[in-house]
């Protein structure tokens, strides 16, 4: 595995692949890699000649009172996981490499898609995401890019941006990888206290119950959402940010259920904000 830190090195490392028509798969991450990230890397490994993984804790997607400085980092462990998964090229840029002094151009997906769900409490978050992902796309020029359904809104926003800007990159959404007890894997799970860690799977259980309700024939979105809210509210220390049932592509609210539906939640356990979701085919 080649490890690079600068844009010049990254482009040089990919030049041969691009000129000889090899396919390139990109997996953008913020590091502190776990089995969820590994599943994206594995899929990219299967589908491309060259696999690039970026590790960058992107400051522009964090709000002023969010966890940018506390975000967990472990470049050595990340490199070991990437090597084990057969990654060809690891990109670890320092902040100044992607945001040099005077940087002032941002990419904004407008409209309800970025205003709803996490966009309500994290203004500017998706602007930061769209900006860094478009920069990484321009730098790596991948054929395919891999994103987790864990961040369902991010996936929808990136798909929208890729369509709107004719980027010609195939966006591959990958299923959520969970701990044995159901908790969606996340780098932020390390913030949880022992008590909160024991409570956290209750969030996934509420989503699994919602899926069962729909499979059992319930078609009233409000009733299913209410059940999820009540179940999560019963967890000590849980403060619900949102529970929503939306179209996974547009993120528009659903009243009656048909086609594929996404039930998405954001919950604070103490100071840790967790997101999770489930897709159900109706």
Max CA pair span of the chain? 57
H-state helical runs in 85-200: 95-98, 112-115, 118-121, 125-140, 152-164, 194-199
Residue 172: strand, helix, or coil: strand
Judged by CB under 6 A, the residue of 14, 24, 157, 184 near ligand AMP is 184
Judged by beta carbon, residue 182 or residue 270, the one nearer ligand AMP is 182
Nearer to ligand AMP, 93 or 148 (CB): 148
CB of 203 to ligand AMP, least distance (A): 13
CA 80, 153, 276, 69 torsion-angle sign: positive
Does the protein bind ligand AMP through residue 246 (CB under 6 A)? no
**With binding defined as CB under 6 A, does residue 91 bind ligand AMP?**
no
Binding piece for ligand AMP, criterion CB under 6 A, among 131-139, 179-187, 211-219, 268-276: 179-187
Q: Does 177 bind ligand AMP (CB under 6 A)?
A: yes
Distance CA 251, CA 245 (A): 8
- Please report, to the nearest 10 degrees, the dihedral formed by the alpha carbons of residues 154, 160, 164, 170 taken in order: 90
43 binds ligand AMP (CB under 6 A): no
**37 flagged as catalytic:** yes
Spatial separation of the C-alpha atoms in residues 144 and 51, rounded to whole Å: 10
- Least distance from C-beta 55 to ligand AMP, angstroms? 8
Site string for ligand AMP, 137-176 (x = CB under 6 A): ----------xx-xx----------------------x-x
Our finding on whether 36 is near ligand AMP (CB under 6 A) is: yes
CA gap 72, 70 in Å, rounded: 6
Shortest approach of ligand AMP to residue 238 CB, angstroms? 19
Question: Could you say which of 37, 125, 138, 227 is catalytic?
Answer: 37
If one counts every other C-beta atom within 10 angstroms of the C-beta of residue 12, the result is: 11
Using CB under 6 A, which of 14, 25, 26, 37 touches ligand AMP? 37
Question: Token pair of 25, please?
Answer: 């798969």
Shortest gap between Cβ of 180 and ligand AMP (angstroms)? 13
Q: Give DSSP secondary structure letters for 216-275.
A: TT--BHHHHHHHHHHHHHTSTTEEEEEEEEE-TTT--B-SB--SEEEEEEEEEETTEEEE
- Smallest separation (angstroms) from ligand AMP to the CB of 156: 12
Sites of contact with ligand AMP (CB under 6 A): 29-30, 36-37, 39-40, 147-148, 150-151, 174, 176-177, 184-187
Q: Which residues are catalytic?
A: 37
């Amino acid at each position: 595995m080649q490890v690079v830190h600068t844009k010049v090195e990254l482009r040089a490392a990919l030049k041969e692949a691009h000129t000889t028509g090899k396919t390139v798969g990109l997996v953008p991450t913020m590091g502190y890699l776990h089995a969820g990230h590994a599943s994206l890397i594995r899929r990219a490994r299967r589908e491309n000649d060259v696999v690039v993984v970026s590790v960058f804790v992107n400051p522009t997607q964090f709000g002023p009172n969010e966890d940018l400085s506390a975000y967990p980092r472990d470049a050595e462990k990340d490199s070991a996981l990437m090597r084990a998964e057969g990654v060809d090229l690891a990109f670890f840029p320092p902040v100044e490499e992607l945001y040099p002094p005077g940087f002032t151009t941002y990419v904004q997906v407008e409209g309800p898609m970025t205003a709803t769900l996490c966009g309500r409490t994290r203004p500017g978050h998706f602007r930061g995401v769209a900006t860094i992902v478009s920069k990484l796309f321009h730098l790596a020029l991948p054929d395919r890019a891999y994103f987790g359904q864990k961040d369902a809104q991010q996936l929808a926003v990136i798909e929208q941006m890729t369509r709107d800007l004719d980027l010609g990159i195939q966006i591959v959404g990958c299923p959520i990888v969970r701990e044995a007890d159901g908790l969606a894997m996340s780098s932020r799970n390390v913030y949880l206290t022992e008590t909160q860690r024991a409570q956290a799977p209750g969030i996934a259980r509420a989503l699994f119950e919602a899926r069962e309700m729909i499979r059992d024939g319930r078609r009233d979105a409000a009733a299913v959402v209410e059940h999820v809210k009540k179940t999560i509210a019963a967890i000590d220390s849980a403060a619900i940010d949102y529970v929503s049932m939306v179209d996974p592509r547009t993120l528009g609210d659903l009243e009656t259920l048909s086609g594929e539906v996404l039930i998405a939640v954001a919950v604070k356990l103490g100071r840790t904000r967790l997101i999770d979701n489930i897709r159900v085919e109706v």
